[in-house]
Amino acid sequence: MSIYEKLNEQQREAVFYTEGPLLVLAGAGSGKTRVLTHRIAYLIEEKGINPWNILAITFTNKAAGEMRERVDNIVGFGSESIWVSTFHSTCVRILRRHIDRLGYDTNFTIYDTDDQKTLMKDVCKYLKIDTKIYKERNLLAAISSAKNEMITPQEYRLQAEGDFHKQKIASVYEEYEKQLRANNALDFDDLLVKAVQLFQTQPDVLEYYQERFRYIMVDEYQDTNTVQFMLISILAAKYRNLCVVGDDDQSIYKFRGANIKNILNFEQVFEDAKVIKLEQNYRSTGNILNAANAVIRNNRGRKDKTLWTANGEGEKISFRQFDSAYDEAEYVVDDIREHVKQGECAYNDNAILYRTNAQSRMFEERFVTAGIPYKIVGGINFYARKEIKDLLAYLKTIDNGQDDLAVRRIINVPKRGIGLTSVNRVQEYAAAREIGFYDALRAVDLIPNIGRGASKMESFVALIEHFKAEAEQVRISELLEDIIEMTGYVEELKAEGDVEAEARMENIDELKNKIAAYEEACTQKGELPSLSDFLEEVALVADIDSLDENSDYVILMTLHSAKGLEFPHVYLTGMEDGIFPSYMTITSDDPEEVEEERRLCYVGITRAKQQLTLSCARRRMVRGETQYNKMSRFLKEIPMKLLSTGAVFEREDKEVKMQNTYRQAKQTFQTKAFSTKPVQQFKVSNGKGPGYDVGDRVRHMKFGEGLVTSITEGGRDYEVTVDFDTAGTKKMFAAFARLQKI
């Protein structure tokens, strides 16, 4: 039996169509890698094409390695001559031979990210650029974006005409390129740009590689940017035997420069192109695919295709709406535990997907208290993230100045100009006198040879002492806000203005949520929130090292990280407008932004093989405040007949709900229970009312003055809606809001 007989009709068509441009629209789970490898095998075995004439481009070294291995297994002899590589490694091989034509030496250096940063520092210093206004990272991002669009420094300057900010960037770009050339160095973007320039200016070199690569195949074509498209187009221009494989519905890397138009406009660039759709899915059940089809159909910028499967309908998609994000996390963890207990699956059959890394915190805490192993893919455990460790180190220092590690961590965060030499001298002084690092800092004027660092250290100590005094007067949430404001921590992150900085700010917002939840839990139990108790709670749930490293673990990841993977059971969480799609997307005027988010939702749904659970919460803490979110618009696009809606997850025993993660963590880790401190809290007793009525003017400590528009009785508390003069309309619980009638 021929290896090609195992392919379906469309797959065979794609394998056998070897001459001329070909676009293979490969839906999720439709076997595109199989098509690519069999196509290479067909070219060699049946068409007699010399392996030397074949170029296959993938996006990662891992994918290139897997493709070569699969081709080896099919073809065997001769496959080592095929070029299977990434865009960048293809270009490096070409440039190593011919870059002297562009005035560079062939032994050029490739600058990695750190090298680029160092060079940019030198450029800014030379041009006297204020790096507080023009962050080095932002300048590099602007240059990278220009190179991805094949915009030279000269063109960039012309485009910047009349825009002072852009003209500044143009000057930096020119100098940056000048210094790269002087160092005989290329950055990663240059590898592609210079290869295109080489082909554009050296016809004989182009001719050689066009003859060499008569058959070109490109995987994940929807993720290509403009310069990658140009490279492929030039190489394929002579023989036009170009096969690109991709799925426009899975184009989710716009923020990295991916241009979806490359795949959408393929037939306009190559007018005689053949288009083959791979619509049979081998991964998922019918119900899961019908849901994915129903969602993605709402996008306008796409090529029409409908996934189907011979796998059968399968189970209905579980949809669960919860009262709070806490309930959502609890349900998901309990559901996984129950399935594993029943022997229906292993832990690693389950994946929890979310829109942002910050959302992992709630699940992590629940897994730790339940003693279930988990692993975060493409991210770091919540309490191990730099910004969280930094802010917790501030709180630890305020609570207990004896924690030397915490003090040393933050002494120069954000940067205060305190160098390592000064820190070491303080450390030596402390060790010699057998006192703590912070105590030595308080006596910094007694330390010999401390020099200019002394005044900066005195300012740091004064700041910590201010916070210590404040900690006795205000709530932990207010203390954290003051730390952030007075140190300028978030301001520094905002100034960076990149995707990573955004994610870090989201994590800080999640820490605020954690503190607000802790304070609320204390209020409900009639206890006084204390900084020491809070830090102890965090230490318990952050102690993930107590779990044995086991290969069988639940996987947690963002939707972006999940692309290309599959799992028997997927939990797609946080399906609310404002979370997914994100608030920024909803408020932007660009409809393409919402389409990008919808593609991300499609990617999430199609990761599931057998079971899919979609969940959302009515209220969720965002930036330490309770937010009431509508159900995600993507959920509403799924037909009801595909969904199994269980009862809304609410506990009958209200007291159980109030038992927070902290209590459970204590039980898990067998720590001694804290003694309760009964104090008068801001409680509302039903029947007496909150002390103000609809129509009254009230004052909130953060939002200022406003008008009470509604008061709803809900269980043990009142839900109050206030139309604030400056902060807009907010819903809040009376006990927690502490509104004062004016």
- Whole-number Å distance between alpha carbons of 686 and 683: 10
Q: What letter would DSSP give residue 356?
A: S
Three-state DSSP state, 622? strand
250 is catalytic: yes
Burial code (b: 16+ CB inside 10 Å, e: under 16) for 177-214 equals beebeeeebbbbbbbbbbbbbbbeeeeebbeebbeebb
The catalytically annotated residue of 10, 11, 32, 39 is: 32
Quick one: CA torsion of 261, 266, 269, 272, rounded to 10 degrees? -160
33 is catalytic: yes
Pair of tokens at residue 606? 């199609």
224 is catalytic: no
Pair of tokens at residue 234? 């030039």
Are residues 27 and 278 in contact, defined by beta-carbon separation less than 8 angstroms? Answer: yes
Three-state DSSP state, 567? strand
Longest Cα pair distance anywhere in the chain, in angstroms?
A: 89
**Has 258 been labeled as part of a binding site?**
no
200 is catalytic: no
Residue 171 burial (CB < 10 Å; 0-12/13-18/19+)?
Answer: middle
User: Taking CA 253 as the corner, what is the angle to CA 250 and CA 259, rounded to the nearest 5 degrees?
Assistant: 90
**Has 168 been labeled as part of a binding site?**
no
- Whole-number Å distance between alpha carbons of 625 and 636: 26
Q: What letter would DSSP give residue 642?
A: G
Which stretches within 488-553 are classed as H helix?
Answer: 489-496, 499-525, 531-541
Task: Indicate the helix (H) or strand (E) that contains 731.
Answer: strand 728-733
Give pairs for 516-521: CB < 8 Å, separation 24+.
Answer: 516/477, 516/621, 516/624, 516/625, 517/326, 517/621, 517/660, 518/476, 518/660, 518/662, 519/475, 519/476, 519/477, 519/736, 520/736, 521/658, 521/660, 521/662
**Has 185 been labeled as part of a binding site?**
no
607 is catalytic: yes
**Has 32 been labeled as part of a binding site?**
yes
The catalytically annotated residue of 190, 220, 519, 595 is: 220
**Has 27 been labeled as part of a binding site?**
yes
390 is catalytic: no
Are residues 418 and 407 in contact, defined by beta-carbon separation less than 8 angstroms? Answer: no
Question: What angle, 0 to 180 degrees and rounded to 10, lies between the N-to-C axes of helices 499-525 and 386-399?
Answer: 40
- Whole-number Å distance between alpha carbons of 578 and 586: 7
Task: Indicate the helix (H) or strand (E) that contains 440.
Answer: helix 437-442
Are residues 347 and 353 in contact, defined by beta-carbon separation less than 8 angstroms? Answer: no
The catalytically annotated residue of 11, 58, 228, 250 is: 250
- Whole-number Å distance between alpha carbons of 72 and 70: 5
The catalytically annotated residue of 607, 619, 633, 730 is: 607
Q: Which residues are annotated as a binding site for ATP?
A: 26-33
**Which residues are identified as catalytic?**
32-33, 219-220, 250, 607
Q: Which residues are annotated as a binding site?
A: 26-33
